[in-house]
């Protein structure tokens, strides 16, 4: 039996398990299973590996995308720059880390905006934002990083409120915070939504619900919105490709 799985905490309703179980069935992929490994601390990852020697591929989610790095033997080059891992391939007992969020986000953004290169704001500074920022760099899109506690070149949510020129010049806004995710669907990043216009594009990494409060605010202003579903599916397919290369 070829084993695949997901580590994270908590793992309430996992997209990956549903996606891969359905994929194995739909595509008649025999002898494979995908399991959830809900580990309260990253140190427990070693026990998962010991107890499941058949594991060939592991997806990594919150809160371990950065914490898992010391447990790996090698990092893929894009992953080194991003500093976060969401996919591990195990071959000959060697663990290699990859970042398929980067692949999924970049590909889905290219499909959505084509050759248009609006300046961007990236909300949140966690693991997902690092993949987003690297993809923007590689696509030649300028961006500003927005944080609740800015450091270096980052700006604050207060800066957006006090300087309307920022939203006037940055038409692509990427939500890489968890705000708006089910069940707290009313939540949204603290950006001045009264400054949104028909030129704005919200790319929300959140995929449940399919239309977040932030996305609705942009659509109400005449702009366009996209959720994280395509990114999610593209990153899962990228992981499957890596595990089978």
Ligand X SMILES: NC(=O)c1ccc[n+]([C@@H]2O[C@H](COP(=O)([O-])OP(=O)(O)OC[C@H]3O[C@@H](n4cnc5c(N)ncnc54)[C@H](OP(=O)(O)O)[C@@H]3O)[C@@H](O)[C@H]2O)c1
Phi, psi of 10 (to 5 degrees): -80, 165
- For the chain, counts of helices (H) and of strands (E): 9, 11
Which DSSP string do the residues of 107-141 spell out, in sequence order? HHHHHHHTT----EEEE--SHHHHHHHHHHHHHT-
**Residue numbers of the site for ligand X (CB under 6 A)?**
62, 65, 101, 104, 124-129, 147-149, 176-179, 181, 189, 205-207, 228, 231-232, 235
Q: Quick check: helix, strand or coil at residue 214?
A: helix
Q: Which is nearer to ligand X, 31 or 183 (CB)?
A: 183
Q: Quick check: helix, strand or coil at residue 74?
A: strand
Q: Which is nearer to ligand X, 31 or 40 (CB)?
A: 40
Which of these, 127, 131, 62, 56, lies nearest to 101 by C-alpha position?
131
Which sequence positions are flagged as catalytic? 65
Q: Which is nearer to ligand X, 134 or 177 (CB)?
A: 177
The CA distance from 79 to 85, in Å, is 6
Partners of residue 7 on adjacent β-strands: 37, 60
How do beta strands 94-98 and 201-204 pair?
A: unpaired
Residue 71 CB, nearest approach to ligand X (Å): 18
Q: Which is nearer to ligand X, 52 or 66 (CB)?
A: 66
């Amino acid at each position: 039996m070829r084993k695949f799985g997901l580590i994270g905490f908590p793992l309430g309703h996992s997209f990956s398990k549903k996606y891969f179980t359905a994929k194995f069935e739909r595509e008649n992929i025999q002898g494979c299973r995908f399991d959830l490994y809900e580990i309260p601390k990253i140190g427990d990852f070693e026990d998962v590996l010991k107890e499941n020697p058949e594991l060939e591929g592991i997806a990594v989610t919150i809160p371990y995308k950065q914490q898992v790095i010391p447990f790996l033997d090698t990092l893929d080059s894009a992953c080194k720059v991003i500093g976060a891992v969401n996919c591990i391939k195990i071959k000959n007992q060697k663990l290699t880390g990859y970042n398929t969020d980067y692949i999924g986000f970049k590909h889905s953004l290219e499909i959505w905006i084509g050759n248009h290169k609006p300046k961007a704001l990236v909300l949140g500074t966690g693991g997902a934002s690092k993949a987003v920022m690297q993809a923007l760099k590689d696509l030649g899109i300028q961006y500003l990083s927005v944080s609740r506690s800015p450091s270096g070149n980052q700006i604050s949510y207060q800066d957006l409120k006090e300087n309307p020129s920022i939203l006037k010049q940055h038409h692509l806004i990427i939500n890489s915070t968890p705000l708006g995710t089910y069940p707290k669907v009313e939540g949204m990043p603290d950006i001045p939504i009264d400054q949104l216009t028909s030129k704005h594009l919200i790319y929300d990494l959140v995929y449940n619900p399919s239309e977040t409060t932030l996305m609705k605010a942009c659509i109400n202003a005449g702009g366009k919105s996209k959720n994280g579903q395509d990114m999610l599916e593209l990153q899962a397919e990228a992981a499957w490709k890596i595990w089978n290369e």
